[in-house]
Amino acid sequence: MSPSHTASLPFDLKRPIIGAPMAGGISTPELVAAVTNAGGLGFLAGGYKTPHQLAEQIIATRALTSGPIGVNLFVVAANDVDEHELETYRQELKYYADRYGIEVGTHKWDDDSWHGKLDVLQDLKPDVVSFTFDCPEVEVLDELNALDIHTAVTVTSTDEARIAAERGAQILIVQGTDAGGHRATFDPAAEPGTEPLPDLITAIRNTTDLSLIAGGGISTREQVRTVLDAGAAAVQVGTALLLADEAGTNSTHRSALQDPTFTETKVTRAFTGRPARGLRNRFMDEHDRSGHAYPQIHYITAPLRAAAAANNDPHALHLWAGTGYRTTHTGPAADIIADLTP
């Protein structure tokens, strides 16, 4: 199937730009509304929030825009972890905790309030709901689709795309290897793919007629055009918005993105147990983990990361960023979206 047969999105946008959902406070209602008001589609990140917090953010975003908004949820699978390995890692990290005068976090598993958040979505009905880390069961997608909520699943391979299409997703969000933050691989133990994004789009385009949104390392107008030409109906950007005025990016993260001493990005499992790309720092290099205990490791390191941000320590903080971080710039989100639009 050629790019000329690209399936259009089931909703209208003035600009083919999607603001990626960035958990941890970055995707504020102000940022989401600004992207939508600029003609794109902004996404709230539901990850790590309580259902009540998510509901509040959806309501706050609705008050700032009359355009469409999206919400993203994590699909967290149960796992079988090595308790001894996790405790060993906790002890390894006591060095950081002692330095900040805090305690290392306790590892646990939860489903990120899955059912409570689905209830919120069914009640407040955002225009689009996307899913990351796995594909929901058929029943979940059917229930949302029946409420006229467009459903999207983030995929990183043709196999994942087939699963999402078979279960009833209306849109596929194709995540390339250069994306910042967590990789969306369904299997957290799998090594992230290395296929260039245009090639991955083409491969998935040849397996499905579903609308495709694609992103990963996109930071220039020329790159947006390349992705659209490869067969995507829209481009998803996250790193490009990290320095936007409306973004909730903490000051330590903002400074690091503009610090010339950070010269590359790297994929690591050290912060959360899932592969994620960020600015390469000392914590990554000192804790080269291959384990995939998510969200257990997330909870172990969460207090350390919060303390690192509070103490302006970029070398103990997860500085999520895609490979195009050097071209990010400050300013209103509307100007950033306009600059990216071909």
Please, which pLDDT band fits residue 299 given cuts at 50, 70 and 90? very high
pLDDT at 3 over 70: no
Q: What is the pLDDT of residues 213-237, one digit of tens each?
A: 999 999 999 999 999 999 999 999 9
Backbone angles phi, psi at 163, to 5 degrees: -60, -50
* pLDDT score, position 6: 61
The whole-number average pLDDT for the span 296-305 is 97
- Say what the pLDDT of residue 4 is: 41
Report how far residue 298's alpha carbon sits from residue 112's, in angstroms, rounded to the nearest whole number. Answer: 12
User: Which range (126-135, 149-158, 191-200, 313-322) has the least confidence?
Assistant: 191-200
Q: What is the mean pLDDT of residues 323-334?
A: 96
Find the range with the poorest average confidence among 3-12, 156-165, 213-222, 311-320: 3-12
**Is pLDDT at 1 greater than 50 in this prediction?**
no
In the predicted model, what is the mean pLDDT of residues 298-315?
A: 97
Q: And the tokens for 74?
A: 């994590």
- Span 107-136, mean pLDDT? 98
Would you tell me the crossing angle of helices 158-167 and 197-205 to the nearest 10 degrees? 40
At 44, the amino acid letter reads L
Closest of 25, 313, 41 to residue 181, by C-alpha:
25
Per the rule left: phi > 0, alpha: psi between -120 and 50, beta: everything else, 168 is left
What SS3 class is residue 235? Answer: strand
Question: Shortest CA distance to 171 belongs to which of 145, 194, 140, 191?
Answer: 145
User: Residue 288: its pLDDT value, please?
Assistant: 86
How high does pLDDT run on average in the chain? 95
Residue-level pLDDT at 291: 74
| List of domains in the chain | 3-76+112-248+326-340 (3.20.20.70), 78-110+263-318 (no CATH)
